Amino acid sequence: MMAVGSEFMRRIPVTICAVFILSILVIACDRKSKVPAGSSKRATSQELHNAISNKDELRRILIRGMPTNEIIVALGQPGWVQDLGTGKQLWHHSLRPFAENDFAQGDNDYFVTGVTVGITNGHLADWGFVTTGVPKSRKENILYQANTLLDSADLKFFVVSNKPVPDGRLIDTDRFPKLGFIGGSPTVRIRRLKELTLKEQVFSEGQGRTNWSLSIVLNSEDAPQLEALTETNISMKVLIMIGNEFISAPVITVPVSTGRFGVDFEDRSLMESIKKQLAELQRQSQ
Threshold 0.75, pTM exceeds: no
Q: What is the mean pLDDT of residues 201-208?
A: 56
pLDDT > 70: percent of the chain: 66
pLDDT for the residue numbered 283 = 72
**How would residue 114 be classed by pLDDT, with cut points 50, 70 and 90?**
confident
pLDDT for the residue numbered 153 = 67
Per-domain boundaries in the chain: 14-149
**How would residue 109 be classed by pLDDT, with cut points 50, 70 and 90?**
low
| Full 3-state SS string of 38-86 | CCCCCCCCCCEECCCCCHHHHHHHCCCCCEHHHHHHHHCCCCEEEEEEC
**How would residue 273 be classed by pLDDT, with cut points 50, 70 and 90?**
confident
Model confidence at 92: pLDDT above 60:
yes
**Is the pLDDT higher at 213 or at 202?**
213
pLDDT digits (tens, 9 = 90+) for 228-237: 999 999 999 9
Phi, psi of 68 (to 5 degrees): -65, -30
pLDDT for the residue numbered 12 = 38
Model confidence at 241: pLDDT above 60:
yes
pLDDT digits (tens, 9 = 90+) for 24-48: 333 333 443 344 444 444 333 334 3
Contacts of 65 (CB under 8 A, 6+ apart): 123, 124
pLDDT for the residue numbered 79 = 78
CA distances from 42 to 14, 35, 37, 59, 91 (A): 17, 10, 12, 26, 10
Q: How far apart are CA 123 and CA 83, in angstroms?
A: 14
**How would residue 209 be classed by pLDDT, with cut points 50, 70 and 90?**
low
pLDDT for the residue numbered 100 = 66
pLDDT digits (tens, 9 = 90+) for 137-170: 433 333 223 333 333 568 899 999 998 888 788 8
